[in-house]
Amino acid sequence: MSRITLFADVLLPLPLKGVFTYRVPLVLNEQVMPGCRVIVPFGRSRKYAGLIKRVHETVPENIQVKYLESVLDQRPFVTPVQFAFWEWLAGYYLCAEGEVMNAALPHSAKDIAETAWHPKTEQYVRLAEAYDGEDQLRELFNHAEKRAPRQLELLVAFIRLSGRYETTPRPVLKKALTDSIRDGSQVLSVLLKKGVFEVLAKERSRFPSLKPVKNNITLSENQQKAWETIKDSFNHHDVVLLHGVTSSGKTELYINLIREYLDKGQQVLYLLPEIALTSQIINRLQGQFGSRAGIYHSRFDQMERMEVWNNLLDGGTVIDGERICYDLILGPRSAIFLPFDRLGLIIVDEEHDPSFKQQDPAPRYHARDAAIYMATLFKAKVLLGSATPSIESYLHAQTGKYGLATVMARHGGALLPDILIADIRKEAASKSMKSHFTGQLFRLTTEALKRKEQVILFQNRRGFSLRLQCDLCDWNPLCHQCDVTLVYHKKDHKLKCHYCGYAAELPSKCPSCESTSIKMRGFGTEKIEDEMPVLFPEARVARMDLDTTRSKQSYRDIISDFENRKVDILIGTQMVSKGLDFDNVSLVGIMNADNMLGFPDFRAHERAYQLMSQVSGRSGRSQVKGKVVIQTYNPNHPVIRQVVDHDYRSMYVAQVTERRKFNYPPFTRLIQLTVMHREQKELDGKAEALAGKLLRVFPGKVFGPEYPPVARVRNFYLKQILLKLGRDQHLKEAKQKLLAVTGSFLESNTYKKLRVVINVDPV
């Protein structure tokens, strides 16, 4: 054991700058190494599981150094590449590295209990060595036959289950053996006491063993051209955008590319925007790659997440006696934090989706952009895929920063759906509306159901009624913590806030004027579902939104039932718009297009186009040409016309022209500061003061402060300040100035109760 006095710089999962130095007890000198987790004291009485970033002999000056208490790992839990990635994330998104650590590690990895994680084991039974020879076994059988028929029965079952006299003997699960005869547990207990059998525990995976069913993929002519373009583009670009219309067969191209990188011994990360997308993609990719395809997302329990992490660190997990390494990882944005070591390719599917952006808490990173940086650390390639690319990515492809491959025809000869516009105003005037269905959508839905075809109804609002309103005084119920109207949820018979989760009882009369004339206005997915038995009494209906998909398996169950045609009508929010592939859907109804177009955001029209185009793409993915009905009060809106014409290019040109004119991304970089205080008057003055200080450092580039559309959340009043930086401005230097201004501003005692949240590249 080394007698050298060592010190360890430890990163803690806290929103604090830098690392903290601890002295290493001599008995732990041989165990400490960068990347290992350690238990350390912090503050007066707290303890944390931290990560060693550096081990050294430099004695800290002018501070009393505490001892670290224990080392949790025999090998590093975090790799040097991960540390480099975290440092970049913290620097780019202006947060503490400890906040990145907190987001990156599974919860169990930060538990101060050393036994927070344990491998899963199964109990197996084998013959003790003294009874394993043929002569001893024959004698054992003869004795049991004369005196213990139940023991003989168990011995026979063991020989059968173990395949002892077959070509390939196999281990026998204890449970399988005891279940094979009546009172098997009692009989086995007797034989264990006699020393005939032994029980041993074997580590095994929490995930099932899957064998690949290799289906040779034959690419169409259009796919083959895109494949060749991707391969050629990777010779000149590290990032390639694959722009393929819905149902053009992008997944087949992904599979071919994944196989190529796996055959080279490299790892592949496949990022998806939502867990809802994973079940169909997982089935397809695990069908191709078996247990080499691992999954990682927040719906897994902590033991499952830790197993995936350790699989990558240790080069595999034992699954049914075979060591399997996850060379392909599928998951949403959190999968980017896994400890890869041979990463060769990152696929970002549906790259346009705003779900890739983490909103709260810090780090407020964008997984697509972070993936592009992470790829540089491995010298890996990135493929971005979308039928409706983000304006930023498409501009990079048009200007040569990214490569570009296109597939503009649907796979297998399927045609793009006919998109029809239903004018709600006209139909309401002619009294042809049936509740929230225009006559056109109602008729087409009825016809599709008669043909045993399936229907998707899209409404980008959950809940039953979007608001309650008194007919006499216009009162409506507001959240007591947030400046938003409460939404009525019929299943729970409660009014709920979709920002803070506050719930209230439904009033029997107006609290303001005591009138009983309270009406429900607007509608969400729950209201549509509620009307189905009246409008389409024979239809089997399911709903997919945040309220129905809270449990671990709920996404998979809903999608599986719809895929297996146990459901006729699927009602959902934007979850139903993303990459799902159902060959029997002939009709999609967009219940209200206008609530997507009127949102006060410079990306509103881009988002509306993407949502409507994506959900439209769920229709007619087989040989039957599909239909889409867009219900709107504004049938001549340019975005709706672009969706009808499947004209992404026109949308792109219009948006780029407008953003260039008004200095919005991708022609500028945005940093949004949200100033928060519990007192509105205090907030007003302090937000103005901060904006003034910023304006002196960034003249002409500071806008606001302004109240956002929702100006109070969880009893904090909010104001936003927007910093617009030119693309030619040195971003790192600008961020340092920003941190200096906000840091000195908040250090003042005057602003103790003020909070400032910085969001780089807000979406």
**pLDDT, tens only, 288-324:** 998 899 999 877 888 889 989 999 999 887 766 678 8
**Choice among 123-137, 458-472, 493-507, 697-711 with the minimum mean pLDDT:** 458-472
- Model confidence at 516, in pLDDT bands (50, 70, 90)? confident
Helix (H, G, I), strand (E, B) or coil at 36: coil
Which among 242, 614, 606, 596 has a CA at the least distance from the CA of 417?
614
pLDDT value of residue 729: 76
pLDDT value of residue 297: 85
**Choice among 126-135, 353-362, 498-507 with the minimum mean pLDDT:** 498-507
Q: Provide the whole-model pTM.
A: 0.87
**Residue that wins the pLDDT comparison between 547 and 142:** 142
- Model confidence at 464, in pLDDT bands (50, 70, 90)? low
pLDDT value of residue 133: 86
Across residues 654-679, what is the average pLDDT?
93
Q: Is the peptide bond before 41 cis (omega within 30 degrees of 0)?
A: no
Across residues 728-747, what is the average pLDDT?
89
Q: Is the pLDDT of residue 115 over 60?
A: no
Q: Is the pLDDT of residue 114 over 60?
A: no
- Model confidence at 581, in pLDDT bands (50, 70, 90)? confident
Strands (E), 35-137: 37-42, 46-56, 70-71, 121-127
Across residues 449-468, what is the average pLDDT?
81
Question: How far is residue 751 from each of residues 283, 738, 746, measured CA to CA in Å?
Answer: 53, 17, 6
Buried b / exposed e over 653-668, threshold 16 CB at 10 Å, is ebbbeebeeeebbbeb
Across residues 708-718, what is the average pLDDT?
88
CA-to-CA distance for 370 and 62, rounded, in angstroms? 38
Q: Is the pLDDT of residue 493 over 80?
A: no
Q: Is the pLDDT of residue 519 over 80?
A: no
**Residue that wins the pLDDT comparison between 531 and 476:** 531
CA-to-CA distance for 448 and 228, rounded, in angstroms? 39
Question: How far is residue 331 from each of residues 134, 135, 412, 628, measured CA to CA in Å?
Answer: 51, 55, 28, 30
Across residues 621-638, what is the average pLDDT?
88
- Percent of the chain having pLDDT more than 70? 96
Q: Is the pLDDT of residue 169 over 80?
A: yes
pLDDT value of residue 61: 86
The pair of three-digit structure tokens given for residue 174, joined into one six-digit string? 């204890």
pLDDT value of residue 463: 62
- Model confidence at 467, in pLDDT bands (50, 70, 90)? low
List strands edge to edge, sheet with 46-56. 20-24, 6-11, 46-56, 37-42, 70-71
Across residues 424-433, what is the average pLDDT?
91
CA-to-CA distance for 264 and 253, rounded, in angstroms? 17
Across residues 124-131, what is the average pLDDT?
90
CA-to-CA distance for 689 and 65, rounded, in angstroms? 40
Question: How far is residue 426 from each of residues 423, 430, 436, 452, 564, measured CA to CA in Å?
Answer: 6, 6, 13, 30, 38
Across residues 179-184, what is the average pLDDT?
91
CA-to-CA distance for 339 and 312, rounded, in angstroms? 6
Q: Is the pLDDT of residue 473 over 90?
A: no
Q: Is the pLDDT of residue 465 over 60?
A: no
How does the average pLDDT of the chain come out, rounded? Answer: 89
CB 624 within 8 A of CB 617: no
- Model confidence at 278, in pLDDT bands (50, 70, 90)? low
HSE (side-chain half, CA atoms, 13 Å) at 532 = 23
Q: Is the peptide bond before 208 cis (omega within 30 degrees of 0)?
A: no
**Residue that wins the pLDDT comparison between 314 and 83:** 83
The pair of three-digit structure tokens given for residue 87, joined into one six-digit string? 């440092």
CB 459 within 8 A of CB 573: yes
**Choice among 94-98, 100-104, 209-213, 519-523 with the minimum mean pLDDT:** 519-523
CA-to-CA distance for 472 and 181, rounded, in angstroms? 74
Which among 561, 560, 556 has a CA at the least distance from the CA of 540?
561
The pair of three-digit structure tokens given for residue 288, joined into one six-digit string? 């191709």
- Model confidence at 488, in pLDDT bands (50, 70, 90)? confident
Q: Is the pLDDT of residue 85 over 90?
A: yes
Pairing status of strand 627-632 against strand 585-590: parallel
Across residues 649-671, what is the average pLDDT?
94
